[in-house]
A and B are shown apart, each in its own frame.
Chain A
């Protein structure tokens, strides 16, 4: 069952030299309780997509078309893009929370982490007593691996990993159904990153929320996600189960990404990488935006825009993309 349904969503950045299509016709489903990985390079539109869903976009960004529907467990649903100010306040944190890349900027530097959790509870749960709130804050911090006595610490007194944990604790405060995590571990060291990924998975088991996990690191995504969507130049070019993407990618771009990062074990395979550079969104190549970098491009790739038909948006093999083991 889906908790979020994104349909044909397009986001433009309006600039002097015309509109930049940061997100173009993206349709995606987020199932209840799953971790959906969103991968792509810088400029692929993955953060813009997440911000559009959380209604965090500000001018010059504008949603030009599409819909985002949020479905509650009781069957009622909500058109996220139509929420008014007041409804939006209730929707955020309670139903959908966001964890950003740099927890150093996301946390308020002049208030303790305990107070920042308290803030969320005080606004959204007016009936809760002061003592109950304090107890809940301590419990949340403990749950993400910060000892309860650290709730009086200011963000600068915590390490990068601890701050990210604190940001996750705030996101969890109201038991949301959906948490969007935008590069939550990118600024962290690998060992700390590993611990936080474990934490996210364990919390998901416990609370059952769904996660949209955004990162450029495909190898990391394949370990943590249930399903993965790959974005390129504002469009989703492939979706699929994490295993399937790993073993039999269908889009040549996905295959290129998989062959771009060095492996730690096994034979030292030849790394192929992807020739060329990501396109300029102001002047996208016609047809499939990836065709100038694609080794398998055909004549029609430069004129015909492949639709995300099933799992892959690629004209190869009659729209099925790469064949297995190619």
Chain B
């Protein structure tokens, strides 16, 4: 047992030591945050931001399919909040739908959070008030995914006779923005926030058939699956995990100086960087230990 080399000992280190190291390098920057420059990705984040910036004010509609679950919340929730903030700043109407039941609570929370932020600022004389039915409508949940995706291309009132709160969608006195929205032709873009391949489903069923622009907000683990659709122009930009969300938060803060809402993704970016650095060092160290041990064994015969 005592014959073990330092390399061998390091390769057999208890996994809990690794967890502890990762926890420390993650927690320290959270408690003592420091700013690191966040480079904006041109072909993903900036492309999407610029596309939304080009929407005409007042009459544009951004349709968000908010299909995030509690387990994806740290990555996807900041994206949803950022998109809603951006649309409200630009006076773009927002329609939100969920294709999974567990997404409802998070989608409603994001809408309430951002509208409260705007209304609090408006009460101090900064910016404008956000009114449900005029600036946004929460459609609620409708399964199974392909059926509402196709149905919305024909007639939104058939798919959602009522909104999430039970208001008749055709009751234009309560939901005046719905007067000019009948199907995808009246919307400018679909934004699909999901931890699975739902953005591709929107490309296949909504874009291919009805020609509407589609963008995605996806978890980092699934980003690689969407690059081909980005290169082919089927996706108009994309947000890639927590980093993409932090980039978008930065762009909004830069463009709209009055925006003072909490930047959830940016808060985690310094921890993200230190943890990545630690993991890279551990991967390098693991490889060094492996090769040194092999060299030691070959010398010993």
A, B co-complexed = no
